[in-house]
Amino acid sequence: MADHTRLFPLLRRELCAVALLVVVAGIALERVKAWAGHEAEQLAAARAGLSAAEQRRAAVERDLSLLTTHAAAYNVAVAAGHIGEEDRLSWLETLHEARETLGLPVLRYALRPRTPLTGTSEVAQGVDFAQYRSELELDLGLLHEADLGRLLRFIEREAPGFFLPEHCDLQATDASQDAPLSEPRIRAHCRLSWFTLSLPASRGDPE
Amino acid sequence: MDCSPGSGSEVAGAGTGGRLRGERPAAALISAIGRSARTALSAHRCTHRATRLLLVAQAGATLFESGGDGLTAGRRFNADATGRADFATALAERRSEPLVVLVDRGDEVYRRERIPPLRGASRRALLTRRARQMGSEPVYQLTLGCGREVGGRGDEWVLFCAVPAGEWLTDWLDLALGQRVPVRCLSSLPALMPALWRLAADRMPGEHVLMVSWHPASGLRQSVLTRGRLQFCRCVPLSWSALEADPALCSAQIERLLQYLRGHGFLPDGALLQVYLLGVLATLKQDPAAMALSAARLETVSDAALARCIGLEDGDAAAIDAVLAWVGLGHRPDAAYALPRYSIYADLAAAQRGLRAVCAGMSVLACAWAMGTLTDAQAARAEAAQLTRTAAGVTQALSAEAERIAEAPVEPVRMQAMVAAVSAWHAARVMPDRALQAVSEALDRRPTVKLLRLNWRCEDVIRSISDGANGTANPPTPRPGCAVVVELHADCAAACPDQRSAMREAAALAAALRGHPDVSAVDLVRAPIETGAAQPIRGDAAMAPLDPQAFLLRLVFVHRHG
């Protein structure tokens, strides 16, 4: 068995060389490892970048497809007044015009303030637009029950925007068949809901 | 081969205390000796780095020091107290440098033996056992393989050498041991002869070679090699003055050796032995022809050209020791330290081998790991560059489309949702005119019934809007917007004479409405008179039988898009 305490002084050059080799190799390996780690990070970043680019491409292709599919319908909806601010003046003008055109003895209206449509929070679903509703109460004096249908069709055709009739109550009056045409035979009370969509201010509401 | 005198003059001072510069003697030897020497010298230069060689002879010792670029010759120390003190001082100057001890002694013990063909541990055990049988107490023992027999079972001839113990050597070794100077190896000149022959093999061809060299400190050494393996070596302790007085002594010694070789079967019958004289003729200033060797089949070759080729000047006899020192620095014979106190050098050699193995292993592992890591890193780098280029290409290719999307009034997903919401509105809308038309047509068929009141309502229309436009990417499926319910109040008081006829009219009106394609259900909510078995009936018979004949129908309409 070798006496190591006697050997160490004789081996000091070799031991120093081994220590130096270990240190140099350690430094070199550490540098190599650091460089390899850096390259691995670069590769991960490049992969993430490519993945992001692929996702962007998929999103752009999807958006482009959606744009191609829905742009025309969207433009039609904007032109029809379904999207954007309510054109209340046009609505009132349409009501006045309808009374004159259809010869209705009585047409009184009450347009209530615009309110968000409860339960349709598209913002929460990430779509970021809101639906609004405005109630329109109509008190009508009709000569015949068919006048109601003609009135609603007139409004549908002439007024910008979209409405839904919710309720109509017709009641015969005491007017006789020989009464003048200015006296209504039927009294009607209807409630209509006028719907619009609007965008947040960030993107801008379409005009 | 170019043996120009100029190449020899470069090392003229080597034996007189000058410096053998590694580049210059190497260049001279390489240009003169040839490719084999060039390879050998290159290998020597690599192993000579910062090593010292002590050539120990009977009269004293010579210390050669080598660095990375050469060999310094000529620090002689006499075998007395002063010389040993000087040697101790020289050792202390560079204590960490290893020392190679080369013994040049005339009374070496040689024994040539034949051993069976063994390998590995068995061969080593046999050689150790035979070496111990040499009898004397040597400082160290050396085993040299002489080659195998061609015929028979292939026995191997082995030359056992031993250097006898004595103060002439142990004094120097003890000094190194006391100074803790690592002794890398201990060897003797015979062990170097094959290496010396290989160094000049281009110039000394031949299957059987006799090299005769003159060593001032010990005498005339004669080495016999067969196919490069040492077969026999002996040193005749002749003094310079004796040779000078009688130059024929040299040829006489050679003649004696030839007779011994023939007598002991070292040379096969008819074999050609070539004799090379190193430093001898130059020392004696004698013509080779004057050697007058008796054997007719021997070739005697002048050593002058060879001496110049390996860097020796004529008359510079000590240079052969320098060349042997140069060779010895790179030579590691299979020697064993016989004296126990020097066994530490064997342990040292083993430890050095172990450390070298560890270093080599570590280096290999580290290099393998580093190469693998670097290869992976290079591949990762190339892949990252490729991916980056691909990503840039994708991004660039999308720029026009992205610009077009950015110019849209709203984001496409939002646009789709808004269009879907509007579609849901349209899907939900039901106008009352269809129901009014159905009622009008039924009343027209029953003119006796008078309409009093009509209530039309679209139930749950707001909820249907909410459910229809859910804002997802998929457009909503059109669905019924509301359940249309009409409550019709009517009577036929003017035309019906009694309650029975009023009942008939109400039933007829309900039947007419049921026949309409848009009506799904008709319920008579309130009849002109309730006559059901489950209803109590109270009245006054004295009263007129015809009360107002009013009734109420409840109609449910089928949803149809208008």
Please determine, for residue A86, whether its predicted confidence score (pLDDT) is greater than 80.
yes
From the number of C-beta atoms within 10 Å of its C-beta (0-12, 13-18, 19+), residue A192 rates as buried
**Binning pLDDT at 50, 70 and 90, where does residue A97 land?**
very high
Is B405's CB within 8 Å of A67's CB? yes
pLDDT in tens, B441-450: 888 888 888 8
**Min Cα–Cα distance to chain B from A182, Å:** 20
Q: Per the CB < 8 Å rule, is A32 touching B388? A: no
Among the ranges A175-184, B33-42, B150-159, B453-462, which has the highest mean pLDDT value? B150-159
Beta bridge partners of A165: A192
Task: Average the pLDDT over A57-63 and give the result.
Answer: 88
Sorted by sequence, the CB contacts under 8 Å of residue B144 that are 6+ apart come out as B158, B159, B160, B161, B190, B191, B194, B229, B230, B333, B334
Reported as a single tens digit per residue, the pLDDT across B510-554 is: 888 888 888 888 888 888 777 777 777 776 666 655 555 688 888
Residue of B nearest to A206 (CA): B409
Phi first, then psi, for residue B22 (nearest 5°) are -60, -40
Q: Mean pLDDT lowest for which of B33-47, B224-238, B453-467, B537-551?
A: B33-47
Nearest by CB to residue B431, choosing from A65, A70, A149, is: A149
The token pair that represents B131 in the structure block: 């070496």
Instruction: Name the residue type at position B409.
Output: P
Tokens 């008179």 locate to B529
| Cβ-based contacts of B425 with chain A (< 8 Å) | 82, 162, 164, 195
| Chain A nearest C-alpha distance from B104 (Å) | 25
Record: contact A46-B394, CB cut-off 8 A: no
Give the HSE-up count for residue B377: Cα atoms under 13 Å, Cβ half-sphere. 16
pLDDT tens digits, B127-177 = 888 877 776 666 667 777 778 877 778 888 888 888 777 788 888 988 988
Q: With a CB-CB cutoff of 8 Å, which residues 64-93 of chain A face chain B?
A: 64-67, 69-71, 73-74, 77-78, 82-83
Top pLDDT among B303 and B431 is at B431
CB-CB contact of B412 with A67 (8 Å): yes
CB contact under 8 A, A119 and B419: no
pLDDT tier for residue B14 given thresholds of 50, 70 and 90: very low
User: What is the distance, to the nearest Å, from the Cα of residue A59 to the centroid of all Cα atoms in its chain?
Assistant: 17
**Domain-wise residue ranges, chain A:** 1-79, 88-198
Q: Do B413 and A77 touch (CB under 8 A)?
A: no
Please tell me the distance from the alpha carbon of residue B51 to that of residue B43, in angstroms, as a whole number.
14
Residue type, B523: D
Task: Spell out the residues 6+ positions from residue A25 whose beta carbon is closer than 8 angstroms to its own.
Answer: B362, B363, B366
Residues of chain B above pLDDT 90, percent: 5
Q: Which residues contact A38 (CB under 8 A, 6 or more apart)?
A: none
Q: Give Cα B541 to chain centroid, integer Å.
A: 121
Largest CA distance in chain B: 190
Distance from CA of B31 to the nearest CA of A (A): 35
Helix (H) or strand (E) holding B188: strand B183-188
* CB-CB under 8 Å, A47 with B387: yes
Q: Would you tell me which residues 164-203 of chain A have a C-beta closer than 8 angstroms to some C-beta of chain B?
A: 164-172, 193, 195, 197, 199, 203
pLDDT at B192: 83
Whether the CB-CB separation of B110 and B143 falls below 8 Å is answered with no
Q: Please list, in sequence order, all residues whose beta carbon lies within 8 angstroms of the beta carbon of residue B126, skipping any fewer than 6 positions away.
A: B115, B116, B118
- Mapping DSSP onto H, E and C, the string for A56-100 reads HHHHHHHHHHHHHHHHHHHHHHHHCCCECCCCHHHHHHHHHHHHH
Q: State pLDDT tens for residues A147-186.
A: 888 999 999 999 998 998 988 999 988 877 777 777 888 9
Residue B403 CA to residue B399 CA, distance in Å, equals 6
Nearest to A66 by CA among B420, B107, B115, B278: B420
Judged by CB atoms closer than 8 Å, whether chains meet at A46 and B384 is answered as: yes
Please say whether the beta carbons of B228 and B198 come within 8 A: yes
Mean pLDDT of B279-306: 52
Name the residue of chain B whose CA is nearest to A203's CA.
B410
Alpha carbon distance B536, A199 (integer Å) = 62
Higher local confidence (pLDDT), B341 or B2: B341
Contact A70 B419 (CB under 8 A): yes
- pLDDT value at A190 more than 90: yes
Lookup result for tokens 């909503």: B476
Q: Which CATH number is associated with domain A88-198? A: 3.30.70.60
